[in-house]
């Protein structure tokens, strides 16, 4: 493939590298793409190892396996069987399924092109092209001989030979640990000065307007507040429902068996895993994608509605539909009927005048959200 490499200069000063796909490069890209899905592997690996142990314990307690020497040997070998199953699954994905799918998507001879510039990094094949702004890069990993660059919902897999050596060294050096939570160490660092203070105005129509600029820590603060919302706790509390339902049904139809317990336990673990992933990873990724550092944020508090803008997303909320307001850390969590799930408003967009208006409105209309603000322990100390 090195014989087919060709570079051209882009108008913004960047470099575009052209190449032709072959079987070897596409296979490398496919394996790097699958290995880069760390969250999936972190879930599958424990599940494959623990599931046989749980299954054998359930068989010993509720089934016919018993607790003899043979059962103990089977239980001891359970994690080995689970680990072997995980290794087999990994090998199938990396050696057959992944490359086969990639070869259908990128046949041999397909033009490849990679752009590396001061503002954007992009990669394309044929008529398909994806790019990530340099300031929005979340993670850069070097897997095999492929760079895996993630930013928001986009992940680029670029072969080493299609990245200029200087840019390659800069990216891998800045992200040599694979991931950084300090956004000031990105390829295009944000200005060192803090965001300007919020701007609050009072309109003649009685609307309070607060505007500010998103700081680099805003997505993480919003995610932490959302994890502490009543909706998140309520969703997690529903996890045992399948186990309870299966057990009650089994008692009415002939008694509880280890099969029914295994089914209920499996469904419960799946719910906990999905909710846990969303609470600790999904919400944070969502806010990092929606609210980039330096993007405008604002809130309007009117007589009968609240309008919230976070980055490019604008949502309106009727105050009559708000069920509960909680101050969680450095943000207000509004639980409401529409939109389902509610709002998370950072402290900088809730001036004291707006908070006071919410409380006064709640005293006039019992059951509305204004009189239901629940302060966090930190706000109580203040």
For 77-129, what is each residue's pLDDT tens digit? 788 888 888 888 888 888 888 888 888 889 988 999 999 988 888 898 887 88
Q: What string of H, E and C letters represents the secondary structure of 242-287?
A: HHHHHHHHHHHCCCCCHHHHHHHHHHHHHHHHHHHHHHHHHHHHHH
Q: Which of 79, 75, 46 is nearest to 63 (CA)?
A: 75
Can you tell me the distance from the alpha carbon of 175 to that of 134, in angstroms, rounded to the nearest whole number? 13
Can you tell me the distance from the alpha carbon of 270 to that of 263, in angstroms, rounded to the nearest whole number? 11
Band of residue 159 on the pLDDT scale cut at 50, 70, 90: very high
Can you tell me the distance from the alpha carbon of 25 to that of 162, in angstroms, rounded to the nearest whole number? 11
Which residues touch 84 (CB under 8 Å, ≥6 apart)?
Answer: none
Residue 272, pLDDT score: 80
Band of residue 66 on the pLDDT scale cut at 50, 70, 90: low
Most confident of 159-163, 284-288, 339-343, 365-369: 159-163
Residue 158, pLDDT score: 92
Can you tell me the distance from the alpha carbon of 25 to that of 36, in angstroms, rounded to the nearest whole number? 16
Which residues touch 335 (CB under 8 Å, ≥6 apart)?
Answer: 229, 230, 231, 322, 323, 324, 325, 326, 342
**In the predicted model, what is the mean pLDDT of residues 180-200?**
51
Which residues touch 61 (CB under 8 Å, ≥6 apart)?
Answer: 258
Which burial class, exposed, middle or buried, applies to 101 when counting CB atoms under 10 A from its CB (0-12, 13-18, 19+)? middle
Q: What are the C-alpha distances in Å from 24 to residues 29, 107, 158, 159, 213? A: 9, 11, 13, 11, 46
Band of residue 369 on the pLDDT scale cut at 50, 70, 90: very low
- Are 40 and 25 in contact by the 8 Å Cβ rule? The answer is no
Three-class DSSP category at 305: strand
Q: What string of H, E and C letters represents the secondary structure of 319-378?
A: HHHEEEEEEECCEEEEEECCCCCCEEEEHHHCCHHHHHHHHHHHHHCCCCCHHHEECCHH
**Is 50 exceeded by the pLDDT of residue 318?**
yes
Residue 379, pLDDT score: 43
Q: What are the C-alpha distances in Å from 290 to residues 149, 198, 231, 279? A: 18, 19, 21, 16
**Residues comprising the chain, all counted:** 382
Higher local confidence (pLDDT), 343 or 66? 343
Sequence ranges of the domains in the chain = 2-185, 199-381
- Are 332 and 344 in contact by the 8 Å Cβ rule? The answer is yes
Band of residue 376 on the pLDDT scale cut at 50, 70, 90: very low
Radius of gyration, CA atoms only, the chain = 27
Which phi and psi angles does 12 have, rounded to 5°? -85, 10
The separation between the first and the last C-alpha atoms of the chain, rounded to the nearest angstrom, is 64
- Are 87 and 282 in contact by the 8 Å Cβ rule? The answer is no
Indicate the DSSP class of residue 96. I
The percentage of residues in the chain with a pLDDT greater than 90, rounded to a whole number, is 8
Most confident of 136-140, 206-210, 274-278: 206-210
Can you tell me the distance from the alpha carbon of 121 to that of 125, in angstroms, rounded to the nearest whole number? 14
Residue 310, pLDDT score: 85
Half-sphere exposure (Cβ direction) of 28: Cα atoms closer than 13 Å: 17
The percentage of residues in the chain with a pLDDT greater than 70, rounded to a whole number, is 77
């Amino acid at each position: 493939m090195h014989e087919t490499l060709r570079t051209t200069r882009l108008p913004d000063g960047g470099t575009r590298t052209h190449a032709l796909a072959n079987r070897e490069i596409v296979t490398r890209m496919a394996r790097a793409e699958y290995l880069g899905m760390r969250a999936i592997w972190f879930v599958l690996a424990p599940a494959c190892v623990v599931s046989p142990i749980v299954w054998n314990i359930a068989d010993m307690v509720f089934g016919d396996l018993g607790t003899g020497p043979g059962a103990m040997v089977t239980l001891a070998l359970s994690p080995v069987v689970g680990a072997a199953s995980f290794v087999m699954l990994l090998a199938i994905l990396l050696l057959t399924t992944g490359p086969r799918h990639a070869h259908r998507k990128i046949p041999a001879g397909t033009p490849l092109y990679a752009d590396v510039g001061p503002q954007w990094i992009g990669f394309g094949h044929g008529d398909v092209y994806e790019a990530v702004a340099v300031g929005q890069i979340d993670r850069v990993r070097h897997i095999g001989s492929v760079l895996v660059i993630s930013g928001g919902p986009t992940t680029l897999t670029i072969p080493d030979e299609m990245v200029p050596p200087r840019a390659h060294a800069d990216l891998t050096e800045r992200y040599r640990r694979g991931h950084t939570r300090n956004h000031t160490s990105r390829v295009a660092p944000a200005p060192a000065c803090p965001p300007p203070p919020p701007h609050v105005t009072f309109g003649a129509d009685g609307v309070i307007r607060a505007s500010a600029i998103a700081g680099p820590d805003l997505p993480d603060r919003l995610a932490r507040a959302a994890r502490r919302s009543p909706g998140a706790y309520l969703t997690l509390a529903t996890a045992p429902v399948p186990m309870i339902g299966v057990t009650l049904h089994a008692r009415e139809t002939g008694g509880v068996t280890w099969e029914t317990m295994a089914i209920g336990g499996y469904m419960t673990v799946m719910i906990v895993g999905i909710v846990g992933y969303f609470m600790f990873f999904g919400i944070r990724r969502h806010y990092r994608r929606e609210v980039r550092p330096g993007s405008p944020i604002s809130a309007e508090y009117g007589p009968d509605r609240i309008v919230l803008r976070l980055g490019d997303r604008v949502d309106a909320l009727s105050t009559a539909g708000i069920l509960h307001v909680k101050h969680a850390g450095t943000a207000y969590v509004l639980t409401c009927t529409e939109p389902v799930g509610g709002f998370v408003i950072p402290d900088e967009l809730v001036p004291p005048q707006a908070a006071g208006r919410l409380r006064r409105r709640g005293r006039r209309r019992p059951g509305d959200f204004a009189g239901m603000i629940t302060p966090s322990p930190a706000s109580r100390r203040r």
